[in-house]
Amino acid sequence: MRLISMNKAKNGDILGQSILGVDGCILLREGVALTDNYIKKLKQLGVLYIYIKDNNLDDIEPEDPKFVEVKSQAVKSLSNVMAKLQYSNTLEIKNTIAAIKEIIEYLIENKGINSTYLLELKTFDNYTYVHSLNTSVLALFYGVQLSFSKPMLMDLGLGALLHDIGKTKIPVDILNKKGRLTDEEFAIMKKHSEYGYELIKDMAGVNQRVKDIILEHHERIDGGGYPRGLKGEKISKYARIVCISDVYDAIISDRVYRKGFPANEAYEFILGGSGTYFDFELVNIFKNNFSIYPLGSCVKLSNNFEGFVVKHNKGFPDKPVVRIIYDDKGNVITPVEVNLVEKLDIRIETIII
């Protein structure tokens, strides 16, 4: 499958990855042939990128349908939780806990899963829910790499999925503002972590780790975060994991008021924040286990040849295996694979979407 901009989608393209709706239901399932009407609707929903099938990349398989279904259930449960909180302070998370358990089991069974398959594509409508899902899945991927026990993973995943529940108490006009927030509006927005903590602090059966995540996921290692300005190890390790997961997914995402960072720039942002924004040890785990360039993304190399990322090299996130399709004049050539770990004189210049 190949990652493309919606502007390049055309009638007859075969969808390579399912797209979730705001309620967790699947809007369009992998394998569907796109029509002009589907393309128009996806653009209206704010979908900017999709995966499509490509004969040159048929060895890049779509996301496991089982994992799609597991994540779909998590979004459905979170959607219900957030909807109820709009009208009351009642929290019913039984289904959410069940969904997190399913994700944990899947990630343990598939510990070597490529990070490309961790993140779901977003629309403007489903951003809040899918962002929370992605944050939870990324955090759990961290936890699996750290050999967390299942109870520890449960707390980590649940806290990550619920990390933004306090935003249900933030005025909608601030949440959905298309421009930059004023200082006053940002001060209100920053209250969401405290609001979330208040919603869950007295809930029976919810571990303190979960509460710490909700309260502390915007704290910074150097003490410059909020709401309490905690520093270093005074911040829960669980919250430190969720902080990186939250920020990474947020900055690569397109919003109504800005475009997301290119994957390579987002990667550099995380590395650049080591020791200030983020925990040094956790940034190293990120560096060694997360991929800069999604499978199926088109890249331009320093020799002006172009191709698609078909494999990642663990520990070398900026040096994947690239299947070259176009020469330096833009002509189609017989595909040839180049492992950038072995070709030190060649590097990726940019992603082409």
Reported as a single tens digit per residue, the pLDDT across 103-112 is 999 999 998 8
> Look-up: residue for tokens 């919606």?
6
At 124, the pLDDT band (50, 70, 90 cuts) reads low
- Give the model's pLDDT for residue 78: 86
- Give the model's pLDDT for residue 122: 61
Q: What percent of the chain has pLDDT over 70?
A: 94
Assess whether pLDDT exceeds 60 at residue 256: no
Q: How many residues does this entry show for the chain?
A: 353
- Give the model's pLDDT for residue 126: 61
Cross-strand bridge partners of residue 15: 52
C-alpha pair distances (Å), 299 with each of 4, 319, 326, 353: 12, 12, 11, 8
In the chain, the domains with their CATH numbers are: 2-57 (3.90.105.10), 65-289 (1.10.3210.10), 298-352 (no CATH)
Tell me the range of 1-10, 122-131, 152-161 where mean pLDDT is highest. 152-161
The mean pLDDT value for 218-238 works out to: 96
- Give the model's pLDDT for residue 276: 94
Position with higher pLDDT, 336 vs 318? 336
The mean pLDDT value for 14-30 works out to: 85
> Look-up: residue for tokens 């709009």?
86
Instruction: Please state, in angstroms and rounded to a whole number, the distance separating the CA atoms of residues 102 and 95.
Output: 11
Q: How many C-beta neighbours within 10 Å does residue 44 have?
A: 11
Instruction: Please state, in angstroms and rounded to a whole number, the distance separating the CA atoms of residues 159 and 196.
Output: 11
Assess whether pLDDT exceeds 60 at residue 349: yes
With CA atoms as reference, report the closest residue to 317 among 279, 275, 348, 296.
348
Cβ atoms of residues 26 and 69 within 8 Å: no
Assess whether pLDDT exceeds 60 at residue 243: yes
- Give the model's pLDDT for residue 83: 77
Assess whether pLDDT exceeds 90 at residue 152: yes
Tokens, residue 171: 């005025």
Q: 113: number of CA atoms within 13 Å, CB side? A: 25
At 257, the pLDDT band (50, 70, 90 cuts) reads low
Least confident interval from 96-105, 118-127, 184-193, 261-270: 118-127
The mean pLDDT value for 308-315 works out to: 90
Cross-strand bridge partners of residue 180: none
Average pLDDT of the chain to the nearest whole number = 89
